[in-house]
Structure 1
């Protein structure tokens, strides 16, 4: 079942308008999550909202928001006051400008959404906007109101639809100066750079997400299944890092290691893909997690023609 739209309204480029819907492009619902339990009873922990001074539980209708001026002084803001200043959703994503993709600092990227036509009308106008962005090889910058706040959104074509990525405001991005000022200015010799380049060339590849396996998630599945089956849990030995004293020698050894790793890249890729494909298949069902059913093997039949 497809997720519900986070937003519905109109996409507009000047006088060209079409109904559109915004859907979350990512999800973490498949990841294993834990509840907190009472170690003595095994019961779930329930959180109560209590007064910090009296320790008495406070009902939701008696709770208001407050902005802390200092440790003990707050400015109270009521729900009605917040609703009064909340931005009214214009229900429209207005495209204000077009920029080069390279100009968008990755620190400003928040999360992606899928944008598609909403309903059976407006597909022609949507296609005009999408193909204009594609042909110009630009990123469209617009504004959208989500949960009473206005967000900047960057729109790019993706197959038949658009990907809209929410962007941070400048005040949300920290300056790098306070982190990088103490980094020493080091002169890298040509020999070291040549060796490092050689390592990079040996490890060069294409970005293929299907190769990646979430090893921690796989380990969680195995841990839970082993505990449910009553099997012993033995801690694994932690790998020990080697102390690098001679940087040049470390680079030379790395070049040798990179050459060895590239001798059979196809097998490594196939293994990673197989592991990623089977990652979500539980050995035993876990409550709240529905394992994917393996498709039944069909008996051999007449060969079918492949269709595009």
Structure 2
């Protein structure tokens, strides 16, 4: 089942309108997450909303938004007043213009969404807008209100739907001069550049996401499995950065190292041997157990907490 839509409304190009729904294109729910615990009791930590001065807990119905104009002085803004600021983009994505994909600076990209028709009507109008964007090889720029904020959204044709990427406003992008101005001007010789280019050519390939493994996530699974098995966790030696004395020598050695790395990648990789209990942990964390099987099994009781 597809996740619940983050937004529902209308997509409009001039007089062509269709109902659409916006869904998150990415998810981090598969990643391992931790709870904060009381070291003494092993119980989870609970957060309370309290008055900063009195320390008393404040119920949700008594909590309002406020903008601090001076230290300790706030202008209160109610939910009803915020709703009065409602813009047309709250319910409609109006396509304002079309631009080339190369015109959009990567710094302005926030996150992608899937845009599809909402319901059984409007598929014809949606297809017209989608195919126009595809045939013109353009990106459609509009606006949409998400999480009580208006965002710029860039729409691109993808398969039978649209990819909508939220964009930042200029005031949200920092000036690179603040970070780059004090970088020294270094003259790179042709020999150095030629060696570096040779390394690049040896490592050249196409971007295939399936080739990449989240090593930190794998290490977390291994850590949790070891603790479940009652093993003592010992710190590993951290890699030390080498002090490069001769840059040309380092480049020459890198050329040889890159060649060996490419040769090693061409060999079929051996299957990784799972540690004791790792398969069970991976199934539990990654949620790979079939839904029917998971539903038929009773949830396990609270396991006893183990410490390293």
CA drift at 1:230? 1.4
Q: 1:251 to 1:197 in 2, by over 3 A?
A: same
CA drift at 1:285? 4.2
Q: Quote the residue 2:303 is aligned against.
A: none
Helix, strand or coil at the partner of 2:207: coil
Q: Quote the residue 2:288 is aligned against.
A: 292
Q: 1:95 to 1:267 in 2, by over 3 A?
A: farther
Q: Quote the residue 1:155 is aligned against.
A: 155
How far apart are the structure 2 equivalents of 1:155 and 1:66?
34
How far apart are the structure 1 equivalents of 2:174 and 2:147?
24
- Number of matched residues? 287
Is the 1:87–1:148 contact (alpha carbons within 8 Å) kept by the matching residues of 2? no
CA drift at 1:288? 7.1
Q: Quote the residue 1:232 is aligned against.
A: 232
CA drift at 1:88? 5.4
How far apart are the structure 2 equivalents of 1:250 and 1:73?
59
Q: Quote the residue 1:304 is aligned against.
A: none
Is the 1:225–1:284 contact (alpha carbons within 8 Å) kept by the matching residues of 2? no
Helix, strand or coil at the partner of 1:69: strand
Q: 1:286 to 1:159 in 2, by over 3 A?
A: closer
Q: 1:117 to 1:83 in 2, by over 3 A?
A: closer
Q: 1:14 to 1:48 in 2, by over 3 A?
A: same
CA drift at 1:290? 5.8
Q: TM-score, normalised by structure 1?
A: 0.86
1:52-103 per-residue CA deviation (whole Å, 9 max, x = no partner) reads 2222222223322222234333222233322332435552211111101111
Q: Quote the residue 1:243 is aligned against.
A: 243
Q: 1:141 to 1:287 in 2, by over 3 A?
A: same
Residues 1:52 and 2:52 are matched in the alignment: yes
Helix, strand or coil at the partner of 1:110: strand
- For residues 150-229 of structure 1, the aligned pairs below 5 Å read 150-229=150-229
Q: Quote the residue 1:115 is aligned against.
A: 115
How far apart are the structure 2 equivalents of 1:95 and 1:89?
10
CA drift at 1:137? 1.0
How far apart are the structure 1 equivalents of 2:103 and 2:89?
28
Q: Quote the residue 1:297 is aligned against.
A: none
Q: Quote the residue 2:36 is aligned against.
A: 36
Q: TM-score, normalised by structure 2?
A: 0.86
Unaligned 5+ residue runs, structure 2?
A: 291-308
| Mean CA deviation greater in 133-142 or 123-132 | 123-132
- For residues 247-262 of structure 1, the aligned pairs below 5 Å read 247-262=247-262
CA drift at 1:8? 1.6
Is the 1:23–1:113 contact (alpha carbons within 8 Å) kept by the matching residues of 2? yes
Q: Quote the residue 1:283 is aligned against.
A: 279
Q: Quote the residue 1:305 is aligned against.
A: none
Helix, strand or coil at the partner of 1:150: strand
How far apart are the structure 1 equivalents of 2:237 and 2:78?
55
Helix, strand or coil at the partner of 1:38: coil
Greater than 6 Å deviation, 4+ residue runs: none
CA drift at 1:287? 10
CA drift at 1:150? 1.8
How far apart are the structure 2 equivalents of 1:206 and 1:73?
56
